[in-house]
Structure 1
Amino acid sequence: MLAGFFEHGANNISLAGDSTSNGTMNGTHSKKPLLSDPQLFEAQFDELLTEMTERDFTDPVLADALRRMREVLVYNAPGGKRNRGLSVIGSLRELLPASKLTQDTVQRALVVGWCIELLQAFFLMSDDIMDSSVTRRGQPCWYKKDGIGMDAINDAFLMEGLIYRLLRRHCRDQSYYVHLLELFTETSFQTELGQTLDLITAPPGQIDFNRFTMERYKAIVKYKTAFYSFYLPVAAAMYMAGITSDEEHNNAKYILLEMGEFFQIQDDYLDCFGDPAVTGKIGTDIQDNKCSWLVVTALEIMTAEQRAELETCYARHDEACIEKVKALYNTLQMPTLYHKYETESYQRLQKLIARHAQNLPHPIFLNFADKIYKRDK
């Protein structure tokens, strides 16, 4: 798993006061506790929350807006697996020697990680509205909360705006600042293009399985998920480590986009076959007419009679129809096909790492893979 997911020695650092773990107080030596990357990450959020909602604005007229922003942040930013955000500091630990991992460097990596988590929250809050989703991370979607509704659109904008405020405040004097700005803006645009392709491929109430091709599906996945979930955190760490060459970034991209494709296929599988008590989300891909890996793969192998049944039942907000689609997936042995694909994907990934990561630490990619393969949520 990525450095930062475990609490072993390499991931421990004290950010309280000095960068060393030993201090002197009243003539006696005291040892400051070492914190794991997840603990540092959580503590950084509390600090950023205070910074963003209390210290940054002094105009009392904004008090109500700041209270709302704090509520939006607390509800939507934490609570996920935080893999994206933690991958920044985890990757940086692989790219830099320990001597260069100063307290300031680590703190900036934590801030950049939270910027990615804010981007994730912005996308999810918006996506939940577009998909009419019900739950997210084991609780009602933000727009579903009493008194929120479509005001959640502006709340999502707030999340996005905070990203660039934080980057400017914490990284403006760093040589990689412009690289990070370009990376975040380009990745956001790529993700929004992927979301556009997803939406127009399966508009509500219009079933056109001719659009549900594997080529189109992979394009949606690449742009909607893989860039921001996999390439963004590693690329950010690479820029922070001084790696700016297009060749090395393209090498990382080859590997990370493959991982991102599998991750979304896995997400599609869990949407249908996962346990909502574990995943924290009630799957809606079938009734939402989604161009998912399950339906695209099923269309490639089913009979004409089965296709007719699928056309009758897919994209229907009816429990009986949903169950018929799931039964059809089981008849076509989709779980078996998925697990076969998972094994093959992992093997392809190993080959890509050997071929393209000759000048990059392999653990960046291998640990990432270990975190996502075989996951159940």
Structure 2
Amino acid sequence: MSSKEEVRGKFVDEFPELVEELKDVLRKYGMPAEAITWFEKNLNYNTPGGKLNRGLSVVDTYAILKNYKSVNDLSKDEYRKVAVLGWCIELLQAYFLVADDMMDKSITRRGQPCWYKVKDVGEIAINDAFMLEAAIYELLKKYFKGQSYYIDLIELFHEVTFQTEMGQLLDLITAPEDKVDLSKFSLAKHSFIVIFKTAYYSFYLPVALAMYMAGITDAKDLKQAQDVLIPLGEYFQIQDDYLDCFGTPEQIGKIGTDIQDNKCSWIINKALELATPEQRKVLDENYGRKDSVMEARCKKIFVDMKLDEHYHEYEEKVATELKAKIAKIDESRGFKGEVLTAFLNKVYKRSK
């Protein structure tokens, strides 16, 4: 197999041409040069700077489904198309993040100022987010309009976008940063938020896109994928919540902020389920405050409750359940359990 750096480099090399094609759409409409330059900066600033895991997963999944030993085995046209699908997810991610950063009043993203914080951008970022989303459908039209599964791709992006926005809505009204009310929290709400806000677009969408392009479109196969990938996506987010509290900055590359930011995380929800009246009072009085002493009081309760042990019990339980589901995958129509195993291996016992 190609090294990770080569695979990533090959994928990244596709993006500049896509930017040019999107600029051509604006030229076709007669947009002035200054607007085209703005759009180009928006695309380049917000889309390619992350880990690109979602986009690369489309390519990796397609290669597995087509029995290729390496992504280098794909024809030039084949690779181009699957990479376009990957970049469409990265555009969706960029759209979500530009909007999310404004809603959360965030300062930095991926080691640089959030887009709305860039000089002269400000609230124009709202429209820029819309344009990032619209770019998805321009690319799908250009590359897939003649394909039998074109409408399936369109509907999948629309559906997953709406699912993600539903998760974001529940998160925003359950856990606003400036108003702490732990009575609104619950493990059931946390589950809905992470499944809809993260699991559908980060785990199911890359695989479903690759499946459509590989010609594996049976509803039973799509359900087989979803039945593993959605709980896997939930597990991934619970892992993130755990690492934010119990991981070291060296491990996770940042200082955890979930407690001070009033996040509706698995940690606080599990704590609320286990808390004595005295512990609940401390959490009500200290959680979600921008104060390191109050944060430390919450962390002490989490340690006293041995939430790390509860997490590891959950991790082993969900991993066992997912492995059992994967073992029962029906591969008669071309879907492969190997796709799901590859995702699980990336997530299981992840430490960063």
Q: Does TM-score exceed 0.5, indicating one fold?
A: yes
- What is the Cα deviation at residue 281 of structure 1? 5.3
2:251 and 2:33 map into 1 onto residues whose CA distance is 38
Residue 256 of structure 1: SS of its match in structure 2? helix
- What is the Cα deviation at residue 126 of structure 1? 1.5
1:66 aligns with 2:36: yes
- What is the Cα deviation at residue 41 of structure 1? 0.5
Match for 1:108 among 81, 91, 94? 81
- What is the Cα deviation at residue 279 of structure 1? 4.2
Match for 1:343 among 309, 316, 320? 316
Match for 1:95 among 57, 61, 65? 65
Call closer, same or farther: CA 1:55–1:189 in 2, change over 3 Å: closer
Match for 2:19 among 30, 43, 49? 49
Q: How many residues align?
A: 347
Matched with 1:203 is 176
Give 1:88-167 correspondences, 5 Å limit: 88-98=58-68, 101-167=74-140
- What is the Cα deviation at residue 156 of structure 1? 1.2
1:54 and 1:249 map into 2 onto residues whose CA distance is 35
1:144 and 1:297 map into 2 onto residues whose CA distance is 35
Matched with 1:29 is none
1:369 aligns with 2:311: no
1:138 and 1:277 in contact (8 A); partners too: no
Match for 2:2 among 7, 31, 38? 7
1:216 aligns with 2:186: no
- What is the Cα deviation at residue 143 of structure 1? 2.4
1:271 and 1:334 map into 2 onto residues whose CA distance is 13
- What is the Cα deviation at residue 371 of structure 1? 1.6
Call closer, same or farther: CA 1:282–1:79 in 2, change over 3 Å: farther
- What is the Cα deviation at residue 254 of structure 1? 0.2
Call closer, same or farther: CA 1:61–1:226 in 2, change over 3 Å: closer
Matched with 1:17 is none
Residue 195 of structure 2: SS of its match in structure 1? helix
2:26 and 2:36 in contact (8 A); partners too: no
1:135 and 1:280 in contact (8 A); partners too: no
Matched with 1:84 is 54
2:329 and 2:336 in contact (8 A); partners too: no
1:222 and 1:257 in contact (8 A); partners too: yes
2:312 and 2:123 map into 1 onto residues whose CA distance is 39
1:254 and 1:366 map into 2 onto residues whose CA distance is 13
1:74 and 1:318 map into 2 onto residues whose CA distance is 36
1:235 and 1:249 in contact (8 A); partners too: yes
- What is the Cα deviation at residue 71 of structure 1? 1.8
Q: Which moved more, 1:299-308 or 1:349-358?
A: 349-358
Matched with 1:27 is none
Call closer, same or farther: CA 1:319–1:98 in 2, change over 3 Å: closer
- What is the Cα deviation at residue 313 of structure 1? 1.0
1:88 and 1:113 in contact (8 A); partners too: yes
1:45 and 1:149 map into 2 onto residues whose CA distance is 26
1:172 and 1:61 map into 2 onto residues whose CA distance is 24
1:235 and 1:97 map into 2 onto residues whose CA distance is 17
- What is the Cα deviation at residue 86 of structure 1? 0.8
- What is the Cα deviation at residue 275 of structure 1? 4.7
Q: Which moved more, 1:260-269 or 1:35-44?
A: 35-44
Q: Which moved more, 1:254-263 or 1:364-373?
A: 364-373
**TM-score when scaled to structure 1?**
0.84
1:214 and 1:296 in contact (8 A); partners too: yes
- What is the Cα deviation at residue 121 of structure 1? 1.2
Call closer, same or farther: CA 1:239–1:178 in 2, change over 3 Å: same
1:91 and 1:234 in contact (8 A); partners too: yes
* Partner amino acid, structure 2, of 1:43: D
Structure 2 spans left out of the alignment, 5+ residues: none
1:189 aligns with 2:159: no
Q: Which moved more, 1:168-177 or 1:326-335?
A: 326-335
Q: Which moved more, 1:137-146 or 1:246-255?
A: 137-146
- What is the Cα deviation at residue 202 of structure 1? 2.3
Structure 1 spans left out of the alignment, 5+ residues: 1-5, 12-34
1:136 and 1:281 in contact (8 A); partners too: no
1:234 aligns with 2:207: yes
2:198 and 2:237 in contact (8 A); partners too: yes
Matched with 2:9 is 39
Q: Deviations over 1:113-135 (max 9, x none)?
A: 00001101111221222222333
1:362 and 1:62 map into 2 onto residues whose CA distance is 50
2:20 and 2:248 map into 1 onto residues whose CA distance is 36
2:252 and 2:158 map into 1 onto residues whose CA distance is 29
1:356 and 1:53 map into 2 onto residues whose CA distance is 43
* Partner amino acid, structure 2, of 1:363: E
Q: Deviations over 1:74-112 (max 9, x none)?
A: 222112221110111111111124599432122100000
2:23 and 2:253 map into 1 onto residues whose CA distance is 28
Q: Which moved more, 1:293-302 or 1:47-56?
A: 47-56
